[in-house]
Amino acid sequence: MAVGALHGQLPIAEVLQGSVFYPASALDGRPVKYLGGFSHSFVYADWNVSQQSLTNNLDTFKGYRILYSRAIERFELCFKSVQPILPELSNGNQDRLRRETRVPPYAMWTIYERLTEFDEAHGPQRFSLLFIGGEGVETFQSLYLSNRCAPSVIALSRCDAFTGNWTQFFPHKGILARSVMLNPSGTPDYIFCDYRSKPESPWPWYSTLEHTVAVPYGRFRLWSRGPRSTAA
């Protein structure tokens, strides 16, 4: 991200295209840790994280300092018409979704710069984090579809039962997967997930295992399109 781009309106297409999109992210920095350098732009969405909680934790990426940070207005995010991919919900469930929105909607954009005492092995010189205080499916459709962009990676973790979601994100017939795969502007090259430590990809379009990362209580796996891999 060029320094000159930090002045004026958010360069939303530059932030979204080729990004890592992480719905139901909480304050989980693992995608940045493991995918930093692969992508320099991360888009997080979680309706359970308040703006104050985010602010209190923004300056906690090891080896990085905040170069620039500000609140983002809605008009900077979504300003083109979009035909939404609607979830198959009854009106009662749609009302429940609205009632269960945990925090007032907000957006924060932060640019991080690597500290001089850390080298390239630690991570990229700079990366961008756009954090949306909102629901994952709605955020994906509003951002990527309206701006005619596609992420390079979908990150999935902590997004099934007992996490406060109104729907599950892992099922490949679910509304998130359908929203992502029906995006007319393109689909991700990869899915990065922990899928409850199972060795297979949750979305069948991504069947080639590219990389495995051991983390406490499980593994993250990076899957790409192609023939199914037998690697563990």
Nearest to 209 by CA among 228, 181, 196: 228
Q: How far apart are CA 25 and CA 19, in angstroms?
A: 14
pLDDT at site 100: 56
Tell me the C-alpha distance between 88 and 78, whole Å. Answer: 23
Mark the ranges of the chain whose per-residue pLDDT is less than 50.
2-4, 89-92, 94, 229-232
Which amino acid, 37? G
Q: Judge contact between 201 and 227, C-beta under 8 A.
A: no
pLDDT given for residue 230 in this prediction: 43
Question: From the CA atom positions of the chain, what is the Rg in Å?
Answer: 17
Q: What is the pLDDT of residue 229?
A: 45
pLDDT of amino acid 195 = 67
pTM over 0.85: yes
> For the chain, which residues make up each domain, given as ranges?
3-78+85-189
Residue 2: what pLDDT?
47
Spatial CA neighbour of 221 closest among 230, 211, 229, 231: 211
| pLDDT (tens digit per residue) in 167-182 | 788 889 999 999 999 9
